[in-house]
């Protein structure tokens, strides 16, 4: 064996003449034996085919060994130090894994605006990548801390913990969110029992990391490792903070969304169409479809104001404010309130309409509305109706035999001219007969099999003729379905329908949530 000076420094035992097996590490001498065998093998060999290098460690450093066979059968080994290269590569791999993890975390967290699910995802991902178990704690609700805990490989568990966060070192500060505090190591012995998931075993290390939110505290992340696991390195801690930043942003977005949507819901509740049922011996059913899928309210409205006694008439109002969407919906709310206030004079439709007209002219809204009023009174087994249209499509009456009549009432729209004259009509419904109030969204919808026809009143009448004797909800559903299918994927205006029916059989009351149906005959 021969060597140069560099080799002498690397392998001090490799004096010239010693055997390679005595002087070099096992991996190198094994590679040498293999290379020698290859050289001796008969057969064609391309001279410049690069021989495969061997890899291994000498002392604390790692090397790449390239053999180059010489004509005399001996082999020169070129040793290249690749320690730094390997360190860099393993760091790169680790960074890539972390980036992939953070990307995945962002994707999963961004997809949900629900606080509970964000906490689930955070706990589960942290338990898979950062620790043996993880807890996510949201700021207290009514003195209770919402907690999600997750053991590696298991599903997250949600619970609420009644505890003073300041009783746990580091937790109070982390949950306050400001001033910013670093992650804090706590003595595993001082951790309260609820912090350690069932079946976790002895705790090796615990770190509490604050979850930074959008100016509001989002919560805290607690990571637990078992005794046998290594404690957190500095790099891991930095990584945990990056993850915590994402989780905190997602959780505070979810909280903001929940607050906003609950405000919207409370404000919108008053604008939603009411659920109708049998009232004072008359069947009512209503259906509403706003023009835009993402909205639940629009420019159409209806209400049934039940009479206070059996001798008085109930008032039904159905109308359409010009325009659609939220702004129109706000005006429907005002009209509905005004009509409610005018209930004491509900017998006089013209007076109600005139007062509403004045109120709308005097308001700052420039919109106008059409509406139809119906006073409904049960008399024996019949239902007496007084109908008044103010610029609205005439109500349609479905008679027992399947004839469909248009109610003879007309008037001008409300909110445009100083006066709004309207002509009322009286109609009697025999048992099983119905009166249909609808907005023009139903008849104006464009579509059909050929795509360009309006649904129109003729089609509506034809459909209603088939509905003779049907229960009121059935008629509403049928009209809504036909109008919706007619329009298909196309756009449509708001659509509202109310059906008033005289019950078919002689009953005092039906199932209205409190009483059972009872026969009078």
Partner 1 sequence: MKSSSPHGPSADPETRLLTDKLWDAVVRADEYAATELVLGALDGGAPAESVLLDVIAAVQGRVGEEWAANRLSVAQEHAATAINERAVTALSLHDAARTEVTRGRLTVACADGEWHALPARLLAEVLKLRGWKVDYLGAQVPTPHLITHLHRSDADAVALSGSIATRLPTAHAAITACQAVGVPVLAGGAAFGADGRYARLLGANAWAPDARAAADRLAAGPLPRPRPDHQAIDDLPHLADQEYTIVARSRSALVRTVLAGLEEAVPEMRGYSDLQREHTAEDLAHIVDFLATALYLGDGELFVGFIGWTAGILAARGVPARSLSPALGILSDELKDFPRAVDFLARGTDAVSSFHRTTAGKNA
Shortest reach from residue 263's CB to partner 1, in Å: 12
Q: Is 128 in the site for partner 1 (CB under 8 A)?
A: no
Burial string for 268-304 (b: 16+ CB within 10 Å, else e) reads: beebebeebbbbbbbbbbbbbbbbeeeebbbbbbbbb
In angstroms, give the least distance from the CB of 115 to partner 1: 8
Please report whether residue 255 would count as binding partner 1 according to CB under 8 A: no
Nearer to partner 1, 33 or 485 (CB): 485
Q: What is the CA radius of gyration of the chain?
A: 40
What does the chain come to in residues? 521
Backbone angles phi and psi of 260, in degrees to 5: -65, -45
Question: At its nearest, how many Å lie between partner 1 and the CB of residue 448?
Answer: 7
For 344, which DSSP code?
A: G
Q: Could you give the CA distance from residue 315 to residue 231 in angstroms, rounded to a whole number? A: 74
Give the burial class of 511: count Cβ atoms within 10 A of its Cβ; 0-12 exposed, 13-18 middle, 19 or more buried: exposed
471 to 510: interface string for partner 1, x by CB under 8 A: x-xxx-xx--x--xx------------------xx-x--x
Give residues with Cβ within 8 angstroms of 418, minimum separation 6.
Answer: 357, 361
Among 22, 164, 187, 466, binds partner 1 (CB under 8 A): 466
Binder of partner 1 out of 3, 36, 66, 117 (CB under 8 A): 117
26 belongs to the binding site for partner 1 (CB under 8 A): no
Contact yes or no for 375/313 (Cβ under 8 A) = yes
In angstroms, give the least distance from the CB of 336 to partner 1: 23
Measured from the CB of residue 38, what is the shortest distance to partner 1 in angstroms? 46
Residue from 296, 334, 384, 461 binding partner 1 (CB under 8 A): 296
Shortest reach from residue 124's CB to partner 1, in Å? 9
- Tell me: does residue 416 bind partner 1 (CB under 8 A): no
Q: Does 517 bind partner 1 (CB under 8 A)?
A: yes
Residue 121 touching partner 1 (CB under 8 A): yes
Q: Which of 27, 101, 194, 257 binds partner 1 (CB under 8 A)?
A: 257
Least Å distance between CB 280 and partner 1?
A: 17
Among 48, 71, 72, 293, binds partner 1 (CB under 8 A): 293
Report in angstroms how near the CB of residue 461 gets to partner 1 at its nearest: 12
CA distances (Å), 114 to each of 150, 425, 521, in order?
18, 53, 55
Among 9, 40, 419, 516, binds partner 1 (CB under 8 A): 516
Site membership for partner 1, residue 315 (CB under 8 A): no
Number of residues that bind partner 1 (CB under 8 A): 50
Buried-state track 82-114, b at ≥16 Cβ within 10 A, e below 16: beeeeeeeeeeeeeeebeebbeebeebbeebbe
SS (H, E, C) 231-245: CCCHHHHHHHHHHHH
How many angstroms separate the CA atoms of 486 and 324, rounded?
20
53-112 residues in contact with partner 1 (CB under 8 A) are 104, 107-108, 111-112
Considering beta carbons, is residue 154 or 406 the nearer one to partner 1? 154
List the alpha helices (DSSP H) in 197-306: 234-269
Q: Does 143 bind partner 1 (CB under 8 A)?
A: no
Q: Which of 114, 154, 162, 406 binds partner 1 (CB under 8 A)?
A: 114
Cβ proximity to partner 1, 67 vs 273, nearer residue: 273
Q: Does 116 bind partner 1 (CB under 8 A)?
A: yes
Residue with tokens 């109308």: 319
Q: Which 433-452 residues touch partner 1, going by CB under 8 A?
A: 448-452
Q: Please name the residues in contact with 166: beta carbons below 8 A apart, sequence gap of 6 or more.
A: 172
Rounded CA-CA distance 189/204 in Å is 9
Q: State yes or no: cis peptide before 14, omega within 30 of 0.
A: no
**Which residues contribute to the site for partner 1 (CB under 8 A)?**
104, 107-108, 111-117, 120-121, 155, 254, 257-258, 261-262, 293-294, 296, 448-452, 462, 466-471, 473-475, 477-478, 481, 484-485, 504-505, 507, 510-511, 513, 516-517, 519
């Amino acid at each position: 064996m021969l060597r140069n000076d560099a080799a002498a420094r690397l392998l001090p035992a490799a004096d010239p003449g010693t055997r390679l097996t005595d002087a070099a590490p096992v991996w190198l001498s094994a590679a040498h034996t293999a290379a020698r065998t290859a050289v001796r093998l008969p057969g064609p060999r391309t001279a410049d085919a690069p021989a495969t290098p061997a890899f291994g460690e000498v002392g604390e450093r790692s090397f790449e060994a390239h053999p180059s066979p010489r004509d005399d059968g001996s082999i020169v080994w070129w040793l290249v130090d690749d320690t730094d290269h390997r360190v860099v590569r393993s760091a790169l791999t680790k960074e890539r894994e972390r980036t992939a993890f953070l990307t995945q975390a962002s994707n999963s967290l961004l997809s949900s605006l629900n606080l509970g699910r964000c906490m689930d995802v955070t706990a589960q991902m942290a338990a898979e990548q950062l620790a043996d178990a993880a807890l996510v704690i949201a700021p207290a609700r009514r003195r209770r801390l919402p907690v999600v805990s997750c053991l590696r490989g298991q599903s997250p568990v949600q619970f609420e913990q009644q505890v003073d966060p300041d009783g746990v070192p580091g937790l109070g500060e982390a949950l306050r969110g400001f001033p910013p505090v670093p992650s804090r190591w706590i003595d595993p012995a001082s951790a309260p029992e609820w912090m350690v998931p069932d079946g976790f075993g002895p705790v090796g290390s615990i770190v509490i990391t604050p979850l930074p939110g959008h100016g509001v505290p989002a919560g805290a992340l607690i990571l637990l490792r078992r005794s046998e696991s290594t404690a957190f390195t500095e790099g891991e801690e930095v990584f945990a903070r990056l993850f915590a930043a994402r989780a905190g942003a997602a959780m505070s977005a979810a909280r903001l969304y929940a607050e906003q949507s609950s405000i919207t819901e409370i404000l919108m509740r008053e604008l939603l169409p009411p659920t109708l049922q049998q009232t004072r011996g008359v069947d009512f059913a209503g259906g509403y479809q706003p023009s835009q899928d993402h909205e639940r309210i629009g420019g159409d409205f209806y209400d049934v104001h039940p009479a206070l006694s059996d001798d008085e008439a109930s008032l039904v109002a159905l109308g359409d404010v010009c325009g659609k969407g939220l702004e129109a919906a706000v005006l429907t709310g005002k009209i509905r309130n005004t009509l409610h206030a005018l209930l004491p004079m509900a017998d006089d439709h013209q007076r109600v309409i005139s007062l509403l007209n004045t109120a709308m002219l005097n308001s700052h809204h420039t919109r106008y509305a059409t509406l139809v009023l119906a006073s409904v009174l049960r008399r024996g087994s019949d239902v007496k109706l007084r109908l008044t249209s103010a610029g609205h499509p005439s109500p349609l009456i479905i008679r027992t035999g399947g004839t469909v009549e248009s109610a003879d009432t007309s008037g001008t729209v409300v909110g445009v001219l100083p006066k709004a004259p309207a002509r009322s009509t009286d109609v009697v419904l025999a048992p099983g007969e119905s009166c249909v109030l609808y907005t023009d969204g139903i008849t104006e919808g464009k579509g059909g099999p050929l795509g360009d026809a309006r649904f129109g009143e003729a089609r509506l009448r034809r459909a209603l003729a088939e509905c003779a004797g049907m229960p009121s909800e059935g008629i509403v559903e049928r009209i809504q379905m036909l109008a919706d299918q007619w329009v298909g994927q196309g756009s449509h205006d708001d659509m509202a329908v109310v059906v008033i029916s005289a019950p078919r059989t002689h009953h005092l009351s039906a199932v209205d949530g409190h009483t059972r149906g009872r026969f009078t005959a």
